[in-house]
Structure 1
């Protein structure tokens, strides 16, 4: 349960980063909204990755591997968001304020599942004298 609370808090920090940088970009730097939001989104990815790796999942996975996996999960989330929004608003003609919350409910659930089980999962080590997962039981163990 504590990890879910940390995940929710890290998500809030990520969203706050996205929004704050977007606002600063528009109102302080006078950037176009899409550019400002893109900068905020990119910053939020960095905040989310760092908090999830170090605090939420307390992972020791290397940055190269974990970072690549995290970006893959982020791409999956983006694809899901796009598909849900397109299906809801374009195909079903449902108003955006009804459709977006559906995506915003699905995405954290999927992200948490993928990040906890794949991105930041602690690699299992074989027990001495027992084959590791995927090993051929007919072969002797080293």
Structure 2
């Protein structure tokens, strides 16, 4: 009976392939984590700016010597209007350096009763690019504020 010799399969190079594959996978995971963190931080920055702009715009209706010196009298509202709210919110964003920090920033100011709503959108600036991810994306943040008028009893 002829003696068969079992030939062992050559496994050289398998470890190298595994290490290279794992390194590529790990690099993609790091890129995704870094990009998601950057997007979250940019969104939080936009929300903070939107909140400040909305509060500034809502308080814009309460500015002026007549309000501080004589009060509102029997007037129940502060008289917010679209033009004033937009102007005050835009001025706040300009003073805060929003357009320098977020190039391409767009702002929309709207009134809903006594509430001022500020919506900001800016191009998403990602530090790393993951293959297959969209090249251009926008991220946004919304802030709102209300100024309530209380009478002397606090109601």
TM-score under structure 1 normalisation? 0.31
Q: Larger Cα Rg: Structure 1 or Structure 2?
A: 2
Structure having the larger proportion of residues in helix:
1
Structure having the larger proportion of residues in strand:
2
TM-score under structure 2 normalisation? 0.29
Structure showing greater relative contact order (alpha-carbon pairs closer than 8 Å, 6 or more residues apart)? 2
